[in-house]
Amino acid sequence: MRITVNGETEEITEGLTLLDLIRERGLNPDIVVAELNRDIVARDNFAAVRLNPGDSLELLHFVGGG
Amino acid sequence: MQQDKLVIGGVELDSRLFIGTGKYSDDALIPAVCEASASQVITVAMRRVDRGGTGVMGHIPSSMRLLPNTSGARNAEEAVRLARLARAAGCGDWIKIEVISDTRHLLPDGYETAKATEILAKEGFTVLPYINPDLYVARACVNAGAAAVMPLGAPIGTNRGLRTREMIGILIEEIELPIVVDAGIGRPSQACEAMEMGAAACLVNTGIASSDDPVTMAMAFRRAVEAGRAAYLAGAGAVSHGEAVASSPLTGFLR
Q: Do the Cβ atoms of B194 and B169 come closer than 8 Å?
A: no
Cβ-defined contact of B47 to A43 (cutoff 8 Å): no
Which residue from A60, A65, A66 is facing B49, i.e. has the nearest CB? A60
Confidence bin at B9 (pLDDT 50/70/90): very high
Residue B242 lies in a domain: no
Residue B87 lies in a domain: yes
Cβ-defined contact of A62 to B89 (cutoff 8 Å): yes
- Here the CATH number for the domain that contains residue B48 is 3.20.20.70
ipTM entry: 0.94
Chain A interface includes B7 (CB < 8 A): no
Which residues on chain B are in Cβ contact (under 8 Å) with A42?
Answer: 88
Tell me phi and psi for residue B5, to 5 degrees: -95, 150
Q: Beta-strand (E) ranges in chain B? A: 6-8, 11-13, 17-19, 41-48, 65-68, 94-97, 126-131, 150-151, 180-182, 201-204
CA–CA distance, B172 with B133 (Å, rounded to integer): 10
CA–CA distance, B40 with B21 (Å, rounded to integer): 13
Radius of gyration of chain B (CA): 20
Q: Which residues of B165-196 are buried (b: 16+ CB within 10 A; e: fewer)?
A: eebbbebbeebebbbbbbbbbbbbebbbbbbb
Which residues on chain A are in Cβ contact (under 8 Å) with B57?
Answer: 31, 61-62
Residue B247 lies in a domain: no
C-alpha to C-alpha distances, B109 to A6, A38, B75, nearest whole angstrom: 26, 24, 8
Cβ-defined contact of B44 to A65 (cutoff 8 Å): yes
- Name the residue range of residue B10's domain: 6-234
Torsion of CA B119, B124, B128, B129, to 10 degrees: 0
Chain A interface includes B183 (CB < 8 A): yes
Residue B248 lies in a domain: no
CA–CA distance, A3 with B17 (Å, rounded to integer): 44
Q: Beta-strand (E) ranges in B38-140? A: 41-48, 65-68, 94-97, 126-131
Residue B246 lies in a domain: no
Residue B23 annotated to the active site: no
- The DSSP code for B133 is S
Q: How many CB atoms lie within 10 A of CB B25?
A: 10
Q: Do the Cβ atoms of B58 and B31 come closer than 8 Å?
A: no
Q: Beta-strand (E) ranges in A1-66? A: 2-5, 8-11, 33-36, 39-41, 56-64
- Here the CATH number for the domain that contains residue A13 is 3.10.20.30
Which residues on chain A are in Cβ contact (under 8 Å) with B22?
Answer: 64-66
Which residues on chain B are in Cβ contact (under 8 Å) with A25?
Answer: 51-52
Residue A51 lies in a domain: yes
Residue B251 lies in a domain: no
For residue range B173-227, list pLDDT tens digits in order: 999 999 999 999 999 999 999 999 999 999 999 999 999 999 999 999 999 999 9
Cβ-defined contact of B21 to A33 (cutoff 8 Å): no
CA–CA distance, A29 with B29 (Å, rounded to integer): 25
- Name the residue range of residue A20's domain: 2-60
Tally of structural domains, chain A? 1
pLDDT above 70 (res B2): no
Cβ-defined contact of A62 to B157 (cutoff 8 Å): no
Tally of structural domains, chain B? 1
Cβ-defined contact of A58 to B48 (cutoff 8 Å): yes
CA-nearest residue to B203 within chain A is A66
Residue B34 lies in a domain: yes
For residue range B108-123, list pLDDT tens digits in order: 999 999 999 999 999 9
For residue range B71-124, list pLDDT tens digits in order: 999 999 999 999 999 999 988 999 999 999 888 999 999 999 999 999 999 999
Confidence bin at B1 (pLDDT 50/70/90): low
Q: How far is B247 from chain A (nearest CA, A)?
A: 45
The mean pLDDT of chain B is: 95
CA–CA distance, B140 with A31 (Å, rounded to integer): 34
Q: Which entry of B23, B96, B115, B122 is annotated as an active-site residue?
A: B96
Residue A30 lies in a domain: yes
Query: What's the pLDDT score for residue A57?
Result: 97
